[in-house]
Amino acid sequence: MEPIVISGISGRFPGCDNTEELQKALVEGRDLVSDNHGRWPKDFYGLTNRGGIINDIENFDNDFFGVPPRQGDGLDPRTRLLMETTLEAIIDAGVHPMDIRGTRTGVFIGMTTSRGNDSVFENKINYTRIGRSMAMTSGMISFLFDLRGPSYSLDTACSSSLYAFCQAFRAIKGGECDAAIVCGATIVLDPYDSLEYKTMNILSPTGKCRFLDEDRDGFVKSESVVVTYLQKSKDAKRIYATVKGCGTNTDGFKIEGVTKPSSEMQRKLMEDIYEEFDINPLDITYMEAHGTGTKIGDVEETIAIADILCKDRVDPLLIGSVKTNIGHTEMSSGLTSIIKVILTMEHGVIPPILHLNKVGEDLIPVLDGKLKPVTELTPWTSGLIGVNSFGVGGTNAHVVLEPNLKMNPAPDDMFDGRLVLLAGRNEKGLEKIKQLLKDNEYSFELISMMDCIFYKPIRNYNHRGYLILDKGEIIEKSEKVTKEGRQTWFIYSGIGSQWPHMGRDLLHIDYFKQSMDECAQVLSPLNIDLVDIITNGDEEVFKNVIHCFIAIVAVSVCLTDFLKLLGIEPDGMIGHSVGEVCCAYADGVISKREAMLIAHARGVALQTAPSIDGTLAVVGLTAEEANEILPDDLSIACYNCIDNLTISGPKKSINDIVDKLKAEGKFAEVIRVQIRLITVSI
């Protein structure tokens, strides 16, 4: 069975707009729960004013996602945020969004039925069903990205998103889909869930999740919107972690009631998972617990974890819970825990839990030293990590992740320069990506992923540019592109575009060298060493017009071959002089052999024809101005553009008119060529 991996992540968290900000806050040990969230009046029926609140749930870029404003206003805020974070997770995986369109990618979302302040929905009549149903949230993600795998939202209360994760894993494993977008979304819009939890005595009056503390008094409600991208390892460009195993079960009947957690069934779930996936419990080095800080929940969970994972263990098992930092995000809490685990693996440090002053006397596995709460920044280097979750109705979920311990390659001594294409929704976004690359110039993994993402346009990423990174020297350019789907044209130059050593560096590219060798073989019977001409040729060599023609055509032909190897096909082509031969080759009219022989024959014809005392000049004149001032022995040879011409005629007359125009402050330059007279008989 091909391993299934997490290749992309994204999220919004209380006070944090992305996973990087969350990592910084966790490491700094910050409490991200706001003292006055402002979602409803203070002291509403005695409720705490504390809550974990996402920074922005109102703004949405309708135009970017192609959603009509009227429909966008009626969408559940979770749906809008999931559109954004899904795109971010796909790009985070190094995948171009267009490349997964039409694929067997599933969408699995953990969330609950929308309930909240109706004032956030302006189009109550037209979009209540389409905009605010769980079915349409998953449906909109599949629709937006054209994903053809299974697509549904599920609600198992607090274990919803980890249930969705396990369902996605099983669907890929069973061949139902090839990849999966797994989401969790919780937004708190009204106080009535909190009032219900208060009557159940599981809502903290102090507004803190005091996991394992003797004074734990329930949880505080919080928000997060999280997306993970699951792929088979062979398809992944990035691997955060491998899903070693996962599973779900339900408590069934309990005499204490449906809401009481069951250590017996949590223990049974872990037993089944570790047996099915051949996981040694002693390989678990850290457990990210559900850890809400309720009186009964913490006891039942720690008993189950200790019974399965601490048998024959020498050192205590490290344990923690992100809920102490951000509050309980309920339906999205399982994926939020997975994000914390991935950040732990990426940075090699376990963030500390908060609000633990003294371990409760009823938490025997902790007091006995089987489990050790992480109360300070703790290094983490290896092993498996478990993530546990359970819902108020008895729905349990458990996931085991294996890290991808990457070795950062040393800077390559042969790194002579790398072109990186970039794009952004706006100028600010593009500059942010540029700065990221400037700060990580030798991160070949990052540069490679950027190439995978931006190798072709992304819809509505209208600010585009590039960087050339070359051992500390950075060349950059960017601009706003106003037209989508611009055509690609190949433009081939004529005589004058040659220079000494013009093909030397390009021969480092194997495919280019292979094509050049084929060109050289055509000319070898004519006693011409093409490779020597384009690698060692100096000014003297290129005074021979034959050498100029064959070098220009050979390099152009080989570049054409290389571009087509990269999948770059021209919508059209333009050629000047000998460049017309290259056009014919690019268009498939002539072969490589014919192109080289034509270039050679043309050079021979010019080389052997008698020369005349004439030359060319480029002048900054319009056709009307030229006709007024040019003497009779000069004529217009080429209309370069509306105010730029090439003129031809005797050398003396050309030099005289050039001197005259320069004296008047106008542009004029002589082209150093030798004009020959060729007579063609028909």
Task: Mention every residue, 6+ apart, whose C-beta is less than 8 A from residue 177.
Answer: 104, 105, 106, 149, 150, 168, 171
- 438 with 538, same domain? no
Q: Which residue has the tokens 């992540």?
A: 9
CA pair distance 669, 618, nearest whole angstrom: 5
Average pLDDT over residues 76-98: 95
Q: What angle do CA 154, 402, 261 make, to 5 degrees?
A: 45
**pLDDT score at 117:** 47
> Within a domain: residue 411?
no
**pLDDT score at 407:** 63
The CATH number that applies at residue 86 is: 3.40.47.10
Q: 649-665, pLDDT tens digit by residue?
A: 898 999 999 999 999 99
What is the distance, to the nearest Å, from the Cα of residue 612 to the centroid of all Cα atoms in its chain?
61
pLDDT band at 123 (very low <50, low <70, confident <90, very high): very low
Q: Catalytic residues, which ones? A: 158, 290, 328
* pLDDT at residue 158 tops 50: yes
- 438 with 520, same domain? no
The CATH number that applies at residue 522 is: 3.40.366.10
CA pair distance 573, 79, nearest whole angstrom: 45
Contact, 284 vs 400, CB < 8 A?
A: yes
Q: Which long-range contacts (CB under 8 A, 24 or more apart) does 437-443 make?
A: 437/467, 437/469, 438/467, 438/469, 438/474, 441/469, 441/472, 441/474, 442/411, 442/412, 442/415, 443/408
CA pair distance 20, 445, nearest whole angstrom: 18
Mean model confidence pLDDT for the chain: 89
**pLDDT score at 262:** 92
> Within a domain: residue 385?
yes
> Within a domain: residue 136?
yes
Q: Write phi, then psi, for 436 (nearest 5 degrees).
A: -60, -45
Domain boundary among 585, 608, 631: 608
Q: What angle do CA 143, 148, 151 make, to 5 degrees?
A: 70
- 517 with 473, same domain? no
Gyration radius from the chain CA atoms: 34
* pLDDT at residue 410 tops 60: no
Structural domain boundaries, residue 277: 4-403
CA pair distance 85, 182, nearest whole angstrom: 11
Render 565-607 in DSSP notation, one character per residue: HTT---SEEEE-TTHHHHHHHHTTSS-HHHHHHHHHHHHHHHH
* pLDDT at residue 127 tops 50: yes
CA pair distance 604, 257, nearest whole angstrom: 98
**pLDDT score at 441:** 76
> Within a domain: residue 252?
yes
Average pLDDT over residues 620-644: 90
